[in-house]
Chain A
Amino acid sequence: MDTKIKIKSTNLNVFYGEKQALFDINLDINQNEVTALIGPSGCGKSTFIRCINRMNDVIDICKIQGEIEMDGKNIYAPNTDVVSLREKVGMVFQKPNPFPKSIYDNVCYGPKIHGIAETKDDLDQIVENSLKKAALWNEVKDRLQEPGTSLSGGQQQRLCIARAISVNPEVILMDEPCSALDPIATAKIEELIDELKTTFTIIIVTHSMSQAVRVSQKTGFFHLGKLIEVGTTEKIFKNPTNNMTQDYITGRFG
């Protein structure tokens, strides 16, 4: 497959107050691929993906240097509109966080505020499509008005994925989306990720090596705020060049 670079980070440095969280990250994310970010806790994986949709903006003490380009445009340029950036870059969080509203309202919120749907029928269609893409439609189609919080953990996480794709983003960031889920729910989400990559570019942070192997085409290994090694998933897991990567994926530290 012809690969095109969707997101390019150049010399990205992130500081929380005095403490530097990321050091000179240079990473290319390919379009319509799943990129997995692995590494021990506190190594900066989450910080990195939160830079891509500028979620770190809400943290007062967070300072960012360097560039992240999406489709060749620096998202930290002064004229970037954060709201339209986040419309293009959806995010799924570690803990399922549906709004305490109905399933329907959870999914239709994004399209509503962005004015994507003109009529109620359009909105219904978007909700149905998003839930279908998130493989949740069959389970909830008869109870769209029930609160989203009444679903099981795995269903809630798929609802959050449906909410993220409802605004038709180009990139989806997933911050350990399966860490709060049981193996069966995890398997469903992984299957889903595999399907979603045909439409979206996906970046997933994970603590599970096997998950990274299963879902991703490219893997980046972070350690103490530095990107130690990046390459195709096959290469990283079969033949890593760096000793630290070798140690981490074989479970000798981390």
Chain B
Amino acid sequence: MTKEQRLQKRYSAEKRFKWYGIISICMALLFVALLVTKVLSEGTSAFVKSTIEIKLNFDQTALNLPEKPTTEDLNAIDFYSFAIDQILKTYPTSNRDEEKELIKLFTTDFEFEVKDFFLANTNLLNQTVSFKITASSDLDQLHKGNYAKNISEDRRKISNYQLKIYDHFIQNNKITKVFNVYFFTNGDSRNPEIAGIGGAMLGSFFSILVCLIISFPIALLAAVYLEEFAPKNKFTDFIEININNLAAVPSIVFGLLGLGILLNVFELPRSTSLVGGITLALMTLPRIIIPCRASLKAVPPSIREAALAVGASKVQSVIHHVVPLAMPGTLSGTIIGLAQALGETAPLLLIGMVAFVVQVPANPLDPSASLPIQVYLWSESAERGFVEKTSATIMILLGFLIIMNSIAVYARQKFEKKWI
């Protein structure tokens, strides 16, 4: 082979290698794009909901109120019958079945929506106002174009009669889309139109908080001890190997540990974010210790020597100099560990956080779900309305993960100091 041929061969090898890299990156980007488009196209519609505008006539006699109503009187109002009366006025029905079909177009919670609205605006007594009631999930899905209309009636969730009512509403501009506050404030529900991730978000928040409070101090102290104080011998090598092994243990095993120890031995309350947080802390601990040790190791020994040489004790040199310098690394390691914990599903399934919880938890001792669990629960639901909610929850979850990872990167860059 001549020199030119060898040169040619080397050039083409380099070019080939460059293209392998570009193709790999394109493949990775393609998968990301696929995920994002799928989630976005399915999920964005969950952030709005359809409402039906109806006239509410808060007539004193219709509400069965005395001349000067007291708070007790107001609370005793039969809003169910009142709301049904008002709903039936929106479309002329001829029999009981038609009435039922009309009522089914509204959310099952219409009674409470009207009640909350009136109790917040009692000055509207004896006045007629227009009010937007949340539509049922079926009408919502129909309005968003997720139901096919041109299939036979028995295969549709919406009957022909309901379609007629829907067309009537549309013609009179009664149906509008508004921002779906319920999605962010409500707990889970069997009815998609009032189901929300408020409970799951708080559950996740409490779990992560418990996880942070437990895992960060333990991980930092363990890392500082192992890195700065522990004698280097067989025993510490053994500990190091086991920490690395622990970081690779499948997360469901930690779930079993939580179930076996926390629930069965210590009898902590089931399905709570406290237990979830402790279980996640067990899982996160080794994943935080490893980056903490790495960042402690990255602090140059000259800084330790400098501190020792002016007469700082070992503890002073570590607390005053080494740990603060390692902080950017330990913080970003911790945040990334927590981000992993936030997306963790399997261990939480085993400690019962998969329960159907309607109430929004007020503290870590209340039963609750978490965001990934909510995704899991809704993805199994049959109702069409949960499909978009599943994707929207994934969007929120990914949003939190992106925010946390950005904070980690920012913290690292902001607080990192150059020492040489």
Chain A positions near chain B (C-beta within 8 angstroms)? 53, 55, 58, 60, 83-84, 86-87, 90-91, 93, 95, 97-100, 109-110, 113-114, 149, 160, 163-164, 166-167
Measuring CB to CB, which residues of chain B are less than 8 angstroms from any residue of chain A?
231-232, 300, 302-313, 316, 320-321, 325, 417-420
Say whether A100 contacts B419, CB under 8 Å.
Answer: yes
Determine whether the beta carbon of A98 is less than 8 Å from that of B311.
Answer: no
Contact among A91, A97, A113, A164 with B303 in the assembled complex (CB-CB below 8 Å): A97
CB distance from A127 to the nearest CB of B (A): 13
Q: Are A60 and B311 in contact (CB under 8 A)?
A: no
Chain B residues whose CB sits within 8 angstroms of the CB of A160 once the complex forms: 306
Compute how far the CA of A97 lies from the CA of B303 in the bound complex, rounded to whole angstroms. 6
State whether A109 and B418 are in contact (beta carbons under 8 Å apart), knowing that A97-B305, A99-B303 are contacts in the complex: no
B308 neighbours in A (Cβ, 8 Å): 55, 58, 86
Q: Which of A84, A91, A149 contacts B309 (CB 8 A)?
A: A91
CA distance A60 to B232 in the complex (A): 8
Q: Do A93 and B309 touch (CB < 8 A)?
A: yes
* A60-B231, A100-B325, A149-B418 given; A93·B306 CB < 8 A: yes
CB atoms of B310 and A167 under 8 A apart: yes
- Whether A100 touches B310, Cβ cut-off 8 Å, given contacts A109-B320, A113-B316, is no
Residues A164 and B419 in contact, CB atoms below 8 Å apart: no
Chain A nearest CB: distance from B239 CB in Å? 16
CA distance A99 to B324 in the complex (A): 11
Identify which of A99, A113, A149 contacts B311 (C-beta below 8 A): A113
In the complex the two chains form, is A164's CB within 8 Å of B310's CB?
Answer: yes
Contact partners of A97 in chain B: CB under 8 A: 300, 302-303, 305-306
**A-side contacts of B325, CB under 8 Å:** 100
Residues of chain A within 8 A (CB-CB) of B310 are 86-87, 90, 109-110, 113, 163-164, 166-167
CB distance A84 to B419 under 8 Å?
no
Question: What residues on A are CB-neighbors of B304 within 8 Å?
Answer: 58
Known: A98-B306, A109-B320, A160-B306. A83 touches B231 (CB 8 A): no
* Shortest beta-carbon distance from A212 to chain B in Å: 23
Residues on B with beta carbons closer than 8 Å to the beta carbon of A109: 307, 310, 312, 320
Q: Contacts A93-B302, A99-B303, A109-B320; is A167 near B417 (CB within 8 Å)? A: no
Output the residue of A53, A90, A99 with the most chain B CB within 10 A: A99
Chain A: minimal CB distance from B301 (Å): 9
Closest 3 CB pairs of A and B: A110-B310, A97-B302, A91-B309
Q: Cα distance A51–B312 when bound, in Å?
A: 17
Give CA–CA (A159, B204) in the complex, Å.
Answer: 50
Q: Is the CB of A100 within 8 A of B417?
A: yes
Chain A positions within 8 Å of B316 at CB level: 113
Assuming the contacts A60-B232, A93-B302, A113-B316, asked whether A100 and B309 have C-beta atoms less than 8 A apart, the reply is no
Q: A95-B302, A97-B303, A100-B325 are in contact. Are A86 and B309 (CB under 8 A)?
A: yes
Q: How far is the CB of A176 from chain B (nearest CB, A)?
A: 13
Could you show 6 A-B contacts with beta carbons less than 8 Å apart? A93-B302, A93-B306, A95-B420, A100-B303, A109-B320, A166-B310
Q: Chain A residues near B300: list those with CB within 8 A.
A: 97
In the complex, what distance in Å separates the CA atom of A55 from the CA atom of B308? 8
Asked if residues B418 and A100 are in contact (CB atoms below 8 Å), the reply is yes
Q: Are A87 and B311 in contact (CB under 8 A)?
A: yes
Q: Which residues on A sit within 8 Å (CB–CB) of B420?
A: 95, 149
Other-chain residue from B232, B303, B311, B320 in contact with A83 (beta carbon distance below 8 A): B311
Q: Which residue of A lies closest to B313 (CB)?
A: A83
CB of A143 to closest CB in B, whole Å:
17
Query: What is the bound-complex CA distance between A167 and B303, given in angstroms?
Result: 18
The docked-state distance in angstroms from the alpha carbon of A164 to that of B305 is 12
Also in contact, A114 and B306, with CB within 8 A (given A109-B320, A149-B418, A149-B419) = no
Chain B residues whose C-beta falls within 8 Å of the C-beta of A113 in the assembled complex: 310-312, 316, 320
Minimum CB–CB distance from A99 to chain B (whole Å) comes to 6
Q: Complex Cα distance A149/B419, Å?
A: 6
On whether A84 and B305 interact (CB within 8 A), knowing A60-B232, A100-B418, A149-B419, the answer reads: no
Closest to A88 in B: B311
Q: Which residues of B contact A166 (CB under 8 A)?
A: 310
Contacts of A98 in B (CB 8 A): 306
How near does chain B come to A116, taking the closest CB pair, in angstroms?
10
CA distance A55 to B418 in the complex (A): 25
Cα-based distance from A114 to B321 in the complex (angstroms): 16
Contact A90 B309 (CB under 8 A): yes
Whole-angstrom distance between the alpha carbons of A84 and B312 in the complex?
Answer: 9
Q: Known contacts being A99-B303, A100-B419, A109-B320, is A53 close to B232, with CB within 8 Å?
A: no
Cβ contact within 8 Å between A55 and B305: yes
CB distance from B410 to the nearest CB of A (A): 19
User: What is the minimal beta-carbon distance from A95 to any residue of chain B, in angstroms?
Assistant: 6
- Take A100-B417, A164-B310 as given contacts and tell me if A93 and B305 are in contact as well, using a CB distance cutoff of 8 Å: yes
Q: Name the A residues within 8 Å of B418 (CB-CB).
A: 100, 149
Please indicate the chain B residues that have their CB under 8 angstroms from the CB of A91 in the complex: 305, 309
Considering the chains assembled together, what is the distance between the CA atoms of A126 and B229 in angstroms?
A: 32
B305 CB to closest chain A CB (Å) equals 6
* B231 contacts A99, C-beta separation under 8 Å: no
A93 CB contacts on chain B under 8 angstroms:
302, 305-306, 309
Q: A93-B309, A149-B417 are in contact. List 4 more A-B contacts (CB 8 A).
A: A83-B313, A87-B310, A97-B300, A99-B321
A86, B311: Cβ atoms closer than 8 Å: yes
Q: Which residue of B lies closest to A109 (CB)?
A: B310
> When A60-B232, A149-B418 are in contact, do A167 and B311 touch as well, CB less than 8 Å?
yes
Task: Report the minimal beta-carbon distance from B229 to chain A, rounded to whole angstroms.
Answer: 11
Kindly list chain A residues whose C-beta atoms are within 8 Å of the C-beta of B307: 99, 109
A118–B417 Cα distance when bound, in Å, is 30
CB-CB < 8 A to B232: which residues of A? 60
Residues of B within 8 A of A58 (CB): 304-305, 308
| In the complex, chain B residues whose CB is within 8 Å of the CB of A149 | 417-420
Q: State A39–B16 Cα separation when bound (angstroms).
A: 54
| Complex Cα gap A98–B314 (Å) | 18
